[in-house]
Structure 1
C-alpha cells in the first residue's frame, strides 16, 4: 500500500482577541506566526475575525482593505519567517455591508482573499455573503479554506474535496454549547472525504459568546491528531510524514 503524501507542518492559532484593537491583535498574530515558524510550520491559521474579534456592531467601522497599512506587519512577518499567515477580518465591500474575510499573507509578498460564503442566522444584518476563494498552495499542499458557517453546508466541504484539497482549514467561532455538534460535523467531513481538517477557534470570549477553544486537527480518517484541552491561548502543530501524523500543543499564554 502506497503511503500518503507528506504534508507540511501546519499551525492552528487559538487566540484570545482584544475587542476592536486591530493594532494589538496584529502584534499578537505576528508573535504567534514567528513562534509557529520557529517550530517548522509553513501555515498558521487564525480564528474567524481574529483581528477585530467577532463584533458585528463594530464591523462597519473596523472593516479593512487587504492592502491597509495596519496589516503591513503581517505581510512583513510572512516574508521574514517564510510562513503563510491566514487571519480573519471584516472586509470593506464597496456599496454594501462588510464581508467576513480570511486574509492570507504569503512569503512572496502577495495577499489572497477568501470571503465567507454562508452566514449564520442574524449575521445578514451586519455582513454580506461572500464568494469564497481559491485554495492556497502551502509547500505543495492544497489548502481549502472555510470560515465558520461554511463548514455547516455539506456542499462546501464536498466542493473542496472534489477540487483536490489536501487539507480543509476552518477558521471558526464556536461556543461551548455548540462545540460538540460543530466538531462532529468537521470530523465527519474529514472521514467522508478522506481530507484532514484543521480547525482554529477562539480561546476567549468574543462578541458575547463563551468560546470553547478546543481547536483540533483530524486526520484523513476523522481520527484525532491533536486538540487544545480547552480555552486560552495556544498553538496546535500537526504534520504528516511517511504516512504518519504527529501533533502537539504549545501553551503560549504564559
Structure 2
C-alpha cells in the first residue's frame, strides 16, 4: 500500500470574506495536487479568518452549498482537504470552531474544536471532536489549536490508533516555541507524525508566526516554512524514511 503525501496549507485569510477565501483555498488545492498531495490541512478558521466578532454571522451548517466548489474540486483532484470554518450543527445551535473534511470521494466529515482558548467562549461553544480519517496505511486524528495544549487530547488520539496528528492552528510568535515544543514532544513520545498548519499572515488582530511544520514519529523535523506567507509544507514517507519540502503558492 502506497503511503500518502501530507501537506500543511499555510494560507493567508481575507477577514470575513468567505468567497475570496474559497478562491484562495482552490489555489492551494490545485498546487497541492500538482505535488501529488492526498491530504491537505488548512489553519484554524481558514475560510473566514480568526474573526471572533463575525463568527455568529458567518457560521454555516456543514452541508451548506457555499462549500460545494471546494467539495467538487477535492473530488476532481482526488484530494482530501480539511478546511476551517465556524459551524452550527443545526439551525439555532451554538457556534463551534469547525474543521470540515472534504473527502476525495465526495464525503463530508465534521470535526469541532473541543478545547477553547481563553476568550473564545464569547463567540464559540466547546465542540465534540470527530472521527479519525483513514488515508492508506495512515490513521489521521484531527486537532484545532488549543486542543493540542491538552496532553490528553493527543494521548486519546494514540489510543484510537492515530499515526498522524494533524492540527490547524493560529500561533503567534510569542507562543511559537512553547507550542511547537509540545507538538514535537507528542511526535517523539507517541511515535506518530505531527502536522501543524498555521496561518500565513495576520488574522483577527493577531500576527501569526507562520512557520508551519511537520515532525516525524521520532520527533525529527521533516519540513517547516521559513516564515509567513502562502506556502505548502509537504511530507512524504518512502522506504528510506520521511522527506519534506516547502512550495510557495500563488493566490489570486
Q: When the two structures are superposed, what TM-score results if normalisation uses the length of structure 2? A: 0.96
The question of whether the paired residues in 1 share the 8 Å contact of 2:194 and 2:216 is answered with yes
Alignment RMSD (CA, Å): 1.3
- 1:6 Cα deviation (Å)? 6.2
* Deviation sequence 1:232-252 (CA, Å, 0-9, x none): 110011011115111000012
2:72 to 42, 63, 76: 76
Deviations 1:89-141 (A, max 9, x none): 00024444300000001122110000000000010110000000000112342
Q: Please, which of 44, 51, 57 is the counterpart of residue 47 of structure 2?
A: 51
Residues 154 and 6 of structure 1: CA distance in aligned 2, closer, same or farther (over 3 Å) = farther
> Residue 208 and residue 89 in structure 1: after superposition, are their counterparts in 2 closer, same or farther (change >3 A)?
same
Q: What's 2:16 paired with? A: 20
Where do 1:1-254 residues align within 5 Å?
A: 7-94=3-90, 95-253=92-250
Task: Name which of structure 1's ranges 116-125 and 5-14 shifts more when overlaid on structure 2.
Answer: 5-14
Gaps of 5+ in 1: none
Measure, in 2, the Cα distance between the counterparts of 1:182 and 1:212: 11
Query: 1: CA distance between counterparts of 2:185 and 2:143?
Result: 15
Does structure 1 retain, via aligned residues, the 8 Å contact 2:27–2:249? no
Task: Indicate the SS of the match to 2:37.
Answer: coil
Tell me, yes or no, if the aligned pair for 2:145 and 2:169 is still in contact at 8 Å.
Answer: yes
TM-score in terms of structure 1 length:
0.95
Find the aligned partners of 2:2 and 2:177 in 1 and give their Cα distance. Answer: 29
Residue 137 of structure 1: SS of its match in structure 2? strand
* Number of matched pairs: 250
| Cα separation, 1, equivalents of 2:155 and 2:161 | 10
Mind listing any 5+ residue stretches in structure 2 that lack a counterpart?
A: none
